[in-house]
Amino acid sequence: MIFALFGILITSIGPAFGEDGSVVVSTNKLSYSTADVILISGEIKYNALGNQLSLIIQSPNGNIAYIGQITVNSDNQFNAEINPGGPYWKTSGTYTIQITQNENNQTSTSFEFQVIDAPENELDQVIVEENVEVDVEVDVEVDVEVDVEVDVEDVAILDSVVTTTTLTVQDSTDLVSYEITNGKIINVIPDLDAVSLLIDIEVIEDGSITLTIPRSVLDATINNDDDEFFVLVDGEEVDFEEIVSSVDRTLTIEFLAGSEQIEIIGTFVIPEFGTIAAMILAVAIISIVAISAKSKIGMLSRY
């Protein structure tokens, strides 16, 4: 019995192997807390199967805490660093790591995670500026002539443009068509860190939404093959129906009354700020600099 227990202990500490031994994964520690960085490393045996791996970390309550892709190095080794923060890392307990090369080559391991709340004294360090009264007499007159006009509406970057049947994700030129029952879409924004689309909804009662998403907006692939999306409704993973074509992917997702946000997680999402948005910001910055420079000239000319 002692030898059997010792063997089980060694197995739990060492790296986890896939069913056929083609993928190995391990962590640098057995337990972590909120302030730690989770270091994941491993090796694949067969590079010919592809150098793109999917990484999924599942929390104790079954929700997806993290999802991403790892590129394997030329020596068949791979590494990843995970910062355990955000709304999906609020539960202490055993988290499971799953590494997938393809459907026949995958492995998993687990670690313990402890949630550490912020110290209460940090909440007391709040500076209230509303009650500060400033009595300053200013004798300097500033005569500024501004010829550069900045239209605030032109500078603002909208998260999305939603109509009754289509929506535009920020500055993307490809439209996402949709149908929704017992609710409406409020806003849609891409989350670059999570490689996902965040869809804010206002729901009257139980219903569903069908989204036809161009692959240029959001996609999920591993080694150029289609992979499954992960869909969360208010942080809970849900099942969905999907129809796939070469240019888009259509998802039908059901939601309950009171739902507020749907998150669709893939492996590619459009950049949060594209070329047009960058140009708008550049024009705004140049305009502000011009206004500031002219203000200084006007002040110097009076003295």
pLDDT of residue 109: 93
Residue type, 271: P
Rounded to the nearest integer, the mean pLDDT of the chain is 77
Q: Long-range contact list for 113-117, CB < 8 A, 24+ apart?
A: 113/31, 113/32, 113/33, 113/84, 113/89, 114/31, 114/32, 114/33, 114/34, 115/33, 115/34, 115/89, 115/90, 115/91, 116/33, 116/34, 116/35
pLDDT of residue 287: 65
Domains, the chain, ordered by start: 2-114 (2.60.40.1930), 152-269 (no CATH)
pLDDT digits (tens, 9 = 90+) for 3-16: 544 444 444 444 44
The stretches in the chain having pLDDT less than 70 are: 1-20, 118-159, 171, 271-285, 287-303
Write down the pTM of the prediction. 0.48
* Placement of tokens 């150029």 in the chain: 224
